[in-house]
Structure 1
Amino acid sequence: MTTPTLPADFCGNPDEAFTIPAEFYTRQDVFEVEKERVFANSWICVSHCSELAEPNSFITREVIGESIAIVRGNDQVLRAFYNVCPHRGHQLLSGSGKSKNVITCPYHAWTFKLNGQLAFARNCIEVVNFQNDKFELSPLKVEEYGGFVFINMNPNAESVESQLPGLAAQLRTACPNVEDLRLGARFVTSVNANWKAVVDNYMECYHCAPAHPGFSDSVRMDTYGHTLHGNWTLQFGHAKSSEKGYSFNDATSNRAFSGFWAWPCSMFNVPPGDDFMTALYEFPVSADVTLQYYDVYFLNTELTDAQKKLIDWYRDVFSQEDLRLVESVQKGLKSRGYRGQGRIMVDRQRSGISEHGIAHFHQLVGKVHSAS
């Protein structure tokens, strides 16, 4: 079976656009193309910079089947490596935390400096022509950008700014203290949906009124808009305090919601308030599964009762609303009753409920799958 392609100008006319065909969400061969063309060649956001602020701190992430270790050396330099021992392939680190001054493989106890150099291999002096410098950890590119950490598997990749020009500056405008935030809560979910279905859901607020009553009661849709900036977009709307969603008082300086999407599938939300934001990291696993990290960040580390209540709302209400939606969509896309493509509801005025964000995203996807 031939892997399907799309015209290079797919969704070129947003006003009359239809979605990408259902098979682009469900076929594994399509996903294999995206693994190489998108995720092995794009800057992928993996964490907030605070998780790697201290010397010897590390995190691990799974991205398209690759385990990646990101480490802050005792020289303060941030580095990323494929999380695999060059001896026999065993993974070196798991989870996150603080390493010692070396990384020790659990299998045969080879040890590596935090800059990736092999420090010691047991019995190596008895091995003919053993050369330490031939067994360094395999690096990949890593950058701190806008308060967050990005990795790229393409050794020739240009900067994050070149992929997402202007995003860091706009993030800091929306959240001036973005780099001072700390992780308050994280929900990790294996979502039974294609990564593009997750992005589609984020790229429109057409569903907000019926599916997010708390959010809709907090954000004034008459002021809501979605602006497109190439590989990133911004959804913005003025907010009002609500017991169903975001609650704030007259002293709050930020009384707006700003939602940023960054290619390919990272989302950063700056809700009304002066001390927190959320981030969604989507790590595709297969055509039908996406691993989601849903992080909530605050300025303080000792959480207040109000912040704990907000975390409960994100975990039990808001995030669950979206998870149910995208998993239902993934099932529906496989139905013989679905006609293969859906109309993208782009209105003339590009209002707050217009789906022009989806048309924009599908234009980018079309270029990935173009035969030309």
Structure 2
Amino acid sequence: MNTRIADQTRVGPHIWKTLIDGYQECYHCQIAHPGFAKSLALETYTVAPKTNYARHSVNSRFGPAAVRPGRAPEAETPPSFTFIFPTCGITITDSMWVVPISAVETRMKYDVFKRKTISAEDLRDYITFYEQVEDEDFMLCCATQRNLNTGIYSRGILHPEKEVGLVVAPPSHISNSPSRGFFSFFAFDILERSAR
């Protein structure tokens, strides 16, 4: 059984697509997430778009150990990132899960669940580490939206290997609700507000 031990909510002046674009690629990770880049072998990061989801894969920089900032590697499953179209992302590591939903102003909320086998020290390290990554992404989303609001940018070319997750359009029959199965335990709740 998993135990809910923490949650976090943030409201940002950016559209949901900015958040999802960042989730669907890790092209920015080397520069924007130095801790993430040190712990994972980003050269192995791939996104495999499927019909209703995109599966992200990455190897640990330290063999079988996933994200263990400042720690010796131990046998551990690498983190799992899956994006469910159109607006739900699920991040599962050996100690926490993170998830998203949709629109113009974004409220990002996630709940952290603790497995019984995770020590309090490891959990603190993971939460601190992932909050750092979330802070970095939040600042990037806000800055990107300010850029988009200037009206200068219209469209550009996507990187053929690093941004493949952004190329696939979600099927029109997919619901905006991630409330099936275990997804209902989590919420990256993105508020839809009327466009300007």
Give the TM bin, normalised by the shorter chain.
0.7 to 0.9
Question: Shift in Å at residue 366 of structure 1?
Answer: 9.2
Structure number with the bigger relative contact order (C-alpha 8 A, sep ≥ 6) is 2
Q: Is the 8 A contact 1:184 1:303 kept in 2?
A: no
Post-superposition Cα deviations, 1:16-40, rounded to whole Å, max 9, x if no partner, equal xxxxxxxxxxxxxxxxxxxxxxxxx
Normalising by structure 1, we get a TM-score of 0.42
Alignment partner, residue 170 of structure 2: 364
In structure 2, give the amino acid aligned to 1:358. Answer: L
Question: Shift in Å at residue 301 of structure 1?
Answer: 9.5
Alignment partner, residue 55 of structure 2: 234
Q: Cα gap change, 1:340/1:252 in structure 2, threshold over 3 Å: closer, same or farther?
A: same
Q: 3-state DSSP class of the match of 1:200?
A: helix
Q: Cα gap change, 1:302/1:217 in structure 2, threshold over 3 Å: closer, same or farther?
A: closer
CA distance in 1, matches of 2:141, 2:20: 9
Question: Shift in Å at residue 240 of structure 1?
Answer: 2.7
RMSD (Å) for aligned C-alpha atoms: 2.7
Structure 1 or 2, whichever has the larger Rg, is 1
In structure 2, give the amino acid aligned to 1:339. Answer: Y
| Corresponding residue to 2:10 among 189, 194, 200 | 189
Question: Shift in Å at residue 313 of structure 1?
Answer: 2.6
Q: 3-state DSSP class of the match of 2:55?
A: strand
Question: Shift in Å at residue 303 of structure 1?
Answer: 6.0
| Corresponding residue to 2:158 among 317, 332, 344 | 344
Alignment partner, residue 277 of structure 1: 96
Alignment partner, residue 257 of structure 1: 79
CA distance in 2, matches of 1:225, 1:355: 9
Q: Cα gap change, 1:305/1:277 in structure 2, threshold over 3 Å: closer, same or farther?
A: closer
Question: Shift in Å at residue 302 of structure 1?
Answer: 9.0
Alignment partner, residue 333 of structure 1: 148
- How many percent identity over aligned positions? 22
CA distance in 1, matches of 2:144, 2:52: 24
Q: Is the 8 A contact 2:4 2:112 kept in 1?
A: yes
Alignment partner, residue 153 of structure 1: none
Post-superposition Cα deviations, 1:329-356, rounded to whole Å, max 9, x if no partner, equal 11111114x231122111xxx3xxx111
In structure 2, give the amino acid aligned to 1:282. Answer: I
Q: Is the 8 A contact 2:47 2:54 kept in 1?
A: yes
Q: Which runs of 5+ in 1 are unaligned?
A: 1-179
Normalising by structure 2, we get a TM-score of 0.75
Q: 3-state DSSP class of the match of 2:31?
A: helix
Alignment partner, residue 21 of structure 2: 200
Q: Is the 8 A contact 1:236 1:259 kept in 2?
A: yes
CA distance in 2, matches of 1:266, 1:187: 16
Q: 3-state DSSP class of the match of 2:129?
A: helix
Alignment partner, residue 163 of structure 2: 355
Q: Is the 8 A contact 1:277 1:298 kept in 2?
A: yes
CA distance in 2, matches of 1:206, 1:281: 19
Post-superposition Cα deviations, 1:38-64, rounded to whole Å, max 9, x if no partner, equal xxxxxxxxxxxxxxxxxxxxxxxxxxx
